[in-house]
Amino acid sequence: MKCVYIRATGQADNLGDVTLRRALLSQMSDHAKLHVLTGSAQAFAKGLKLAAIHKTYTSERRWQAAFARDALLGRVALYVGKPGEIAGKLSGRERQLLAVAKLFGVPAVRSAVGLRSAGDFSDQHMKELRSYLRVGWRDSTSAARGAQLGIGYPVPDWAFAEGTGYSTLERKSLVLSFRFDRPQLSDQTITEICQFAAEHDLMLICICQVERDGPPMEDLAAKIGAKFIPWNPDMIKLEHDLRDQYRQSMIVISDRLHVLINSFTEGAAPFCLTSTTESKIERHFAVIGYHDITAVETITPISTLRESFARQIARSDERQIALQSARSALSAEAASLLKMVSQA
Residues 6 or more apart whose CB falls under 8 angstroms from that of 141 comprise 114, 115, 118, 279, 283
Q: State residue 117's pLDDT score.
A: 73
The pLDDT tens digits of the residues spanning 84-110 come to 998 778 889 999 999 999 999 999 999
Q: How many CB atoms sit inside 10 A of residue 252's CB?
A: 27
Q: State residue 292's pLDDT score.
A: 97
Domains of the chain: 3-155 (3.40.50.2000), 173-324 (3.40.50.2000)
Q: Given phi > 0 = left and psi -120 to 50 = alpha, else beta, which region is 117? A: beta
The pLDDT of 251-261, averaged and rounded, is 98
Mean of pLDDT over the chain: 95
The pLDDT tens digits of the residues spanning 279-311 come to 899 999 999 999 999 999 989 999 999 999 999
Each as own residue / partner, the long-range contacts of residues 39-46 (CB below 8 Å, 24 or more positions apart, any chain) are 39/9, 39/10, 39/12, 41/12, 43/12, 43/233, 43/234, 43/235, 44/10, 44/12, 44/17, 44/18, 44/235, 46/235, 46/236
The residue type at 223: K
How much is the pTM?
0.96
Each as own residue / partner, the long-range contacts of residues 136-139 (CB below 8 Å, 24 or more positions apart, any chain) are 136/109, 136/110, 136/111, 136/112, 136/333, 137/112, 137/113, 137/287, 138/83, 138/84, 138/112, 138/113, 138/114, 138/284, 138/287, 139/114, 139/115, 139/280, 139/283, 139/284, 139/286, 139/287
The pLDDT of 40-56, averaged and rounded, is 95
In which band, very low, low, confident or very high, does the pLDDT at 119 lie, cut at 50, 70 and 90? low
**113 pLDDT above the threshold of 90:** yes
Q: How far apart are CA 217 and CA 70, in angstroms?
A: 47
Each as own residue / partner, the long-range contacts of residues 48-57 (CB below 8 Å, 24 or more positions apart, any chain) are 48/8, 48/18, 48/21, 48/22, 49/22, 49/236, 50/25, 54/29
**118 pLDDT above the threshold of 70:** no
**120 pLDDT above the threshold of 70:** no
Q: Given phi > 0 = left and psi -120 to 50 = alpha, else beta, which region is 210? A: beta
